[in-house]
Amino acid sequence: MGHNHAHPEKAWQAIRTEAIESLLNEINVLTSEDVDKVVRHYEENVGPKTGARVIARAWVDPEFKTRLLADGLVACEELGIGGPETELLHVVENTPRVHNVVVCTLCSCYPWPILGLPPAWYKSSAYRSRLVREPRKVLSELGVDLPDEVEIRVWDSVSEIRYLVMPEKPDHSENLSEAEFAERITRDHMIGVARHIPQAG
Amino acid sequence: MQPETLSAALNQSGFENLTFSTPWSARLFGMTLAASEKRFFTLQQFQSALIGRISEKEQDGCITTDDDYYTCWLEALQGLLEEKNLWQAHQLHEREVEVVEAGEHRKEQQRHGHQAVQPEVVK
């Protein structure tokens, strides 16, 4: 594998990555600025707060919610959110009888432009293989205990479709503003490994 | 993976803690998106390559860390680029040697108190 045993302080993956980038620079395929731009965007601009903003808008604006459920990407564009990495965004709504949860069994497809980068556990073999097989058990291990009458729908992002879970709007939350809703919605709610939205901020 | 490990992993990754776990994984991710934006390959082609690599890797064991995962990513990207015959195999190896030597040189300079040291990677 060409691992660099002589220099254990630097991972062979780091060495190979740097070498590939250097060759790509040299043959004018990519500049380092091209790469910097993408990395900076994902480190600084994109993250779960983007998704939280989308869901919070849907909670306060029923017409936006209808558009979001009909075509996620088009509705997100209204808020200036989007990117070339997602072809289709399917927003799936939790109800008192349905809980949705997202996985990618084959690799780690994830709605990057809406949620940023996936957490490490999302990419793990354990989550990817077990969630489909025993969703109720995995969710329970993750602190989401669902009564038997709640149906669990597991969405596998194997094609070009990306999924985003719309959690249930908390009861008695009429006093909360759109921004306050957004503060309470986490990445885990939008993947579906959390369900309850706290009333207090 | 044991249940408690999955739980622990979930609890570790806080809401805001979403940047790359290593500088090299950030560069890899950036290179892949930038190369697809320049239409060197489509993200679907990359996804297929990554799926293939992950599937091979999982025949030997599980993916449990970000490093495992991004190693598959690296091998997938390398494979796609090599299919384009952008360089000869020996060139990549030689460049790796140069990268290591450049790193040693920087360290040597640091040992001798030189101030003008370039960062090894862009953050």
- pLDDT value of position A200: 64
Could you tell me if B65 and B100 lie in one domain? no
| Structural domain contains residue B43 | yes
Share of chain B above pLDDT 90, in %: 43
Q: Are B117 and A23 in contact (CB under 8 A)?
A: no
Residue B10 lies in a domain: no
The DSSP secondary-structure symbol of A102 reads E
pLDDT per position as a tens digit, B54-86: 999 999 888 888 889 999 999 999 999 999 998
Most A CBs within 10 Å, among B5, B6, B22, to test the A interface: B6
**Residue B92 shares a structural domain with residue B82:** no
Q: How many domains does chain B have?
A: 2
The reported pLDDT for the residue numbered B29 is 92
Closest to B24 measured CA to CA, from B69, B63, B88, B56? B69
Whether B2 is covered by a domain: the verdict is: no
The whole domain housing B97 covers: 87-123
Tokens of B91: 């060139």
Residues B112 and B55 in one domain: no
- pLDDT of chain A, 201 residues: tens digit per residue: 444 444 457 899 999 999 999 999 999 999 999 999 988 888 887 888 899 999 999 999 999 999 999 999 999 999 988 765 667 899 999 999 999 999 998 888 888 888 888 888 888 888 999 999 999 999 999 889 999 999 999 999 876 788 999 999 998 888 899 999 999 999 999 999 999 998 765
Residue B46 located in a structural domain: yes
Residue A56 near residue A181, CB atoms below 8 Å: yes
* Interface confidence: ipTM more than 0.85: no
User: Is residue B27 domain-shared with residue B80, that is, in the same domain?
Assistant: yes
Same domain, B50 and B79: yes
Mutate to test the interface with B, among A45, A49, A123 (most CBs of B within 10 A): A123
DSSP secondary structure, A176-192, as one string: --HHHHHHH--HHHHHT
Q: Which residue of B has its CA nearest to A121?
A: B9
Work out the minimum CA distance from B3 to partner chain A, whole angstroms. 6
* Chain A residues lying within 8 Å of B90, measured CB to CB: none
Task: Please report the domains of chain A, with CATH numbers, ordered by start residue.
Answer: 12-44 (no CATH), 48-191 (3.90.330.10)
Q: Which residues contact B40 (CB under 8 A, 6 or more apart)?
A: A29, B81, B84
Using an 8 Å CB-CB cutoff, list chain B residues near A21.
27, 31
Domain annotation covers residue B68: yes
Quote the pTM value.
Answer: 0.79
Task: Say if residue B96 is in the same domain as residue B79.
Answer: no
Amino acid of residue B2: Q
Q: What is the DSSP letter of A118?
A: P
Give contacts of A 39-98 with B, CB under 8 A.
39, 42-43, 47-48, 84-85
**Do B32 and B52 have their domain in common?**
yes
* Cβ-contact A164, A82 below 8 angstroms: no
Q: Name the strand (E) or helix (H) holding A168.
A: none
For residue B73, with 0-12 CB atoms within 10 Å meaning exposed, 13-18 middle and 19 or more buried, which class applies? Answer: buried
Amino acid (one-letter) located at A158 = V
Residues 141-180 of A with CB under 8 A from B: 141-143, 160
Confidence (pLDDT) at A98: 97
Q: What is the pLDDT of residue A84?
A: 59
Residues of A belonging to the active site: 104, 107-109
Name the one residue in this structure whose structure tokens are 């803690």: B17
Across residues B17-44, what is the average pLDDT?
86
Going by pLDDT thresholds of 50, 70 and 90, the confidence category of residue B7 is: low
Residues B82 and B58 in one domain: yes
Neighbouring CB atoms inside 10 A of B92's CB total 19
B76 within domain boundaries: yes
Handedness of CA B37, B42, B48, B52 (dihedral sign): negative
Q: With respect to residue B12, please indicate whether it lies within any of the assigned structural domains.
A: no
Residue B13 lies in a domain: no
